[in-house]
Amino acid sequence: MKIFETHAHLDFSNFNNDRKDILKQFFSSGIEYIINVGIDEETSKASIDLAEKYERIFVSVGYHPHDAKKFDKNVILQLSQHRKVVAIGEIGLDFYRNLSPQDVQRKVFEEQIILANELNLPIIIHDRDAHEECLQILERNNPQKVVFHCFSGDEIFAEKIIQKGWFISFTGTITYKNNKQENVVRMVPLDKFFVETDSPFLSPVPQRGKRNSPLNLRYIIEKMAEIRGLSPKQIAQISYENAVKFFLKDRM
Ligand SMILES: [Zn+2]
């Protein structure tokens, strides 16, 4: 079974004591590729350092909405030239925590979409409590390849994303009791989704509350398989193929 972990933050200090060991374990457990995602300059650079050490790690660089106030266009322009950088993200709007002012978030989000378009790179979206505004800003810039990471919208919003030809990515939240994504998992076209852990965050049941790691991707795959009436192997394979096409097509 080939597995593609499409969103993790393995450069974070949560992994400082055992990063080497767990990466060894990940890659011998069927995980073929990992996209390590930056949230600012420091973590984007740290992601690149990791990708230089591990052939099967690729990188997304960008300023998370929480860090929008630190945005420096030249950092993205420079880092995106690295051979392992395959996406811009995670970028977007977070009107739940509002750690950067909303007007700064909007401006920085749009500037990074424009950059991604110029660089011809896919975009990883972080959208929390800002669905319609995310959509509006995206629509007026018309990027080709977009994934809504840790999708948190309803079926109506999912339908809009799918209509655009964009992707939806599911985390451990689909394993939580009372999650609202079950119908979205049920309706998403099989060529329009990925799975991801967002490690070290959002551990799936039965690991909830502990540090998350890409090894837990199997719980998300199993849950999705159960909802769709497919085997875990099928879900893993489809997500793998979708992600290779989306992130790595021009690299292989
Ligand atoms: Zn993330």
Distance from residue 1's CA to the centre of ligand 1 (Å): 24
SS3 sequence of the chain:
CCEEEEEECCCCHHHCCCHHHHHHHHHHCCEEEEEEECCCHHHHHHHHHHHHHCCCEEEEECCCHHHHHHCCHHHHHHHCCCCCEEEEEEEEEECCCCCCCHHHHHHHHHHHHHHHHHHCCCEEEEEECCHHHHHHHHHHHCCCCEEECCCCCCHHHHHHHHHCCCEEEECHHHHCCCCCCHHHHHHCCCCCEEECCCECCCCCCCCCCCCCCHHHHHHHHHHHHHHHCCCHHHHHHHHHHHHHHHHHHHHC
Per-residue pLDDT at 251 exceeds 90: no
Distance 6 CA to ligand 1 centre (A): 10
Task: Indicate the pLDDT class of residue 242, thresholds 50, 70 and 90.
Answer: very high
Kindly report the average pLDDT of the chain as a whole number. Answer: 96
- Predicted local distance difference test score (pLDDT) of residue 145: 97
39 alpha carbon – ligand 1 mean position (Å): 8
Per-residue pLDDT band for 178 (boundaries 50, 70, 90) equals confident
143: Cβ contacts below 8 Å, ≥ 6 apart: 113, 116, 117, 123
Compute, in angstroms, the gap from residue 198 CA to the centroid of ligand 1.
Answer: 5
3-state DSSP assignment of residue 77: helix
pLDDT, tens digit (0-9, with 9 covering 90-100), for 183-197:
999 999 999 999 999
Ligand 1 centroid to residue 214 C-alpha, Å: 13
Residue 195 C-alpha to ligand 1 middle, in angstroms?
Answer: 13
Q: Ligand 1 centroid to 189 CA: how many Å?
A: 23
pLDDT, residue 252, reads 62
pTM equals 0.96
| C-alpha closest to that of 3 among 219, 226, 167 | 219
89 CA distance to ligand 1 middle (Å): 9
Report how far Cα 15 is from the mean position of its chain's Cα atoms: 19
Task: With beta carbons less than 8 A apart as the criterion, state whether 61 and 44 touch.
Answer: yes
Measured in Å, residue 8 CA sits from the centre of ligand 1 at 6
CA of 202 to the centre of ligand 1 (A): 10
Over its C-alpha atoms, the chain yields an Rg (Å, rounded) of 17
Ligand 1 center to residue 37 CA distance, Å? 6
Q: What is the distance between the alpha carbons of residues 22 and 161, in angstroms, rounded to a whole number?
A: 34
Helices (H), 54-130: 73-79, 102-119
Give me the percent of the chain exceeding a pLDDT of 90.
94
Residue in the block written with tokens 């939580």:
176
pLDDT in tens, 36-92: 999 999 999 999 999 999 999 999 999 999 999 999 999 999 999 999 999 999 999
Q: Which residues crowd ion ligand 1, with CB under 5 Å?
A: 198
Alpha-carbon span 71 to 68, nearest angstrom: 5
In words, the CATH class of domain 3-251 is alpha beta
Task: Give me ligand 1 centre to Cα 207, in Å.
Answer: 18
* Three-class SS state of 69: helix
Calculate how far, in angstroms, residue 230's C-alpha sits from the geometric centre of ligand 1.
Answer: 27
Predicted confidence (pLDDT) per residue in 99-132, tens digit: 999 999 999 999 999 999 999 999 999 999 999 9
Place 210 in a pLDDT band, splitting at 50, 70 and 90. very high
The C-alpha atoms of residue 216 and residue 200 are separated, in whole angstroms, by 11
Give residue 64 CA to ligand 1 midpoint distance, Å.
8
pLDDT (mean) for 225-230: 98
